[in-house]
Amino acid sequence: MTTPTDELLTVPATSGGADLPTAATLPVLNPATGRPFALAPAVTPEQLSGVFETAQAAFEDWRKDDDRRRQVLRDLASALRENIDELAPILTAEQGHPLSDSVGELQASAMWFDYYADLELPKEIIRDDAEAYEEVVRRPMGVVSAITPWNFPIALAVWKIAPALRAGNTMVVKPSQYTPMATLALGRLARGIVPDGVLNVVSGGLGSAMVAHPIPRKVSFTGSTEVGKTVALNAAEDLKRVTLELGGNDPAIILPDVDVAEIAERLFWNGFNNNGQLCFAVKRVYAHRDIKDDLVEALAEIAKKVRVADGMSEGAQLGPINNSAQFDRVAELVDDAVRGGARVAAGGNRIGDEGYFYTPTILDNVDDGVRVVDEEQFGPVLPVVSFTDEADAVRRANASEFGLTASVWSGDPERAMALAPSIDAGQVAINRHGRGVRPHLPFGGHKWSGIGVENGPWGLYGFTEIQVLAGPSRQ
């Protein structure tokens, strides 16, 4: 396997533990240049059908031995760690974030494999007495279809792969067309570790076919709410089970007793990590009127000092936005806010004329009803809205179709914790945003932010079906 150079990188799709040759390829752009750096295999729907059949054939043997599955996950974790130097540059070249962030993503992914390998699940014996025996058994579903996004290509794929394989399912994984290469490389790395046919990785324009095909019994999708609704509708035709991790417009409520100087750096990076291209990033700040101006100034000063550059550059803190469509959306939302009277405290413009670089942007003098506040930006833009009453701030935070994550910031953590349950979101953190994104905690959203959860034993349960075993006493 080659690494990104002047020669276009190619990595084959994986089916049944071998290359899946394709007649055509699709260019993959480096967002730092806007030019192709790789060619991804364009798997056809007809080929995909064969891949699903391969996964189906591998299922019966794979489901039988939990100890074997645990060891495979441990071996995947080790292989991932051993190949970080090869995979990280590919990940940065296609996604854009700094090389150090790519390394961190791969390390976290290895940790997820280890977590599920070590997860202990007690037997669920409901009754065991002189009269009867009753047990709840969790069975694998069969073949799982996984569709993954471009913002954290490997980590969010592993969020699906690790629990699905541990549960005894086989998989077909399709990464985003913007970022297929690192996931294809992961599929190739897994050969010889995962039994043939258990983990298959494809790429191409296969979104509808990944859902509509009759073989998979479960679809796990991470992406936009708009596409997630389509996935749900198509899956309903065959009553496929779904897990949908969708969009968010995540609020941070900043109470007046905070030390602005103490929280500003943490709040900034909770919004701008990965250029804000993070489902659980802070996307709108509700700051109490007494401290709002100081907070805007502090955030703006941080934004002005951030080094935005090619992710392979020394000292880059943020890279480019991942793709041209997302770049245009971010620019459009900022321009719309400015036309509506917003003040650009920092940023607000493109950097250079190559690639998709945009300055970290802090917007003041905005309010609910402005698109950049009401919609998910998924980019390096953070609007700061003023409030005077805590109950009103919560009401405004909840007045959204989304409910993924949120946070409350206060000099008194107990005060913040008392306010947190009133916020309608799948996770509410105190004095840090998204701090509950860990392998052992459930992650999922309310309302339009998704269906089901990932991570923890709950994420594993999502890849199983319940069966009740009931019989006479075994005593």
The number of beta carbons lying within 10 Å of the beta carbon of residue 351 is 14
> What is the helix, strand, coil percentage profile of the chain, to 5?
40, 25, 35
Tell which residue, 139, 140, 143, 147, has the closest CA to residue 234. Answer: 147
CATH architecture of 9-246+449-468: 3-Layer(aba) Sandwich (3.40)
What is the structure's pLDDT at 207?
A: 92
Catalytic site residue from 94, 105, 245, 375: 245
Tell which residue, 55, 216, 77, has the closest CA to residue 145. Answer: 216
CA distance linking residue 50 with residue 73, whole number of Å: 25
The number of beta carbons lying within 10 Å of the beta carbon of residue 433 is 30
| CATH code for the structural domain at 251-438 | 3.40.309.10
What is the structure's pLDDT at 7?
A: 86
Q: pLDDT category, 142, cuts 50, 70, 90?
A: very high
Instruction: Quote the mean pLDDT of the chain.
Output: 97
pLDDT per position as a tens digit, 307-365: 999 999 999 999 999 999 999 999 999 999 999 999 999 999 999 999 999 999 999 99
What is the structure's pLDDT at 475?
A: 86
pLDDT per position as a tens digit, 180-234: 999 999 999 999 999 999 999 999 999 999 999 999 999 999 999 999 999 999 9
Question: Which of these ranges, 81-85, 121-125, 150-154, 308-312, has the smallest mean pLDDT?
Answer: 121-125
pLDDT per position as a tens digit, 240-294: 999 999 999 999 999 999 999 999 999 999 999 999 999 999 999 999 999 999 9
Q: How far is CA 403 from CA 176, 332, 398, 438, 450, in A?
A: 24, 24, 8, 18, 9
Alpha helices in 306-367 (DSSP H): 324-339
Contact 68, 91 (CB under 8 A): no
Question: Which of these ranges, 29-38, 39-48, 277-286, 431-440, has the smallest mean pLDDT?
Answer: 431-440
Specify the residue for token string 């590919």. 90
Radius of gyration, alpha carbons of the chain = 23
Contact 467, 137 (CB under 8 A): yes
Q: Where are the domains of the chain?
A: 9-246+449-468, 251-438
What is the structure's pLDDT at 435?
A: 81
What is the structure's pLDDT at 436?
A: 77
Length of the chain: 475
DSSP 36-89: EEEEEE---HHHHHHHHHHHHHHHHHHTT-HHHHHHHHHHHHHHHHHTHHHHHH
What is the structure's pLDDT at 6?
A: 60
Q: pLDDT category, 161, cuts 50, 70, 90?
A: very high
Tell which residue, 133, 5, 139, has the closest CA to residue 66. Answer: 139
**Does residue 383 carry a pLDDT above 70?**
yes
- The percentage of residues in the chain with a pLDDT greater than 90, rounded to a whole number, is 97
Q: Is 454 a catalytic residue?
A: no
pTM exceeds 0.85 for this model: yes
Summarize the confidence of residues 68-86 as an average pLDDT.
98
Comparing 9-246+449-468 with 251-438, is the CATH topology the same? no
Specify the residue for token string 């939990």. 66
Q: How far is CA 276 from the centre of its chain?
A: 12
**Tokens representing 98?**
């700094």
What is the structure's pLDDT at 2?
A: 40
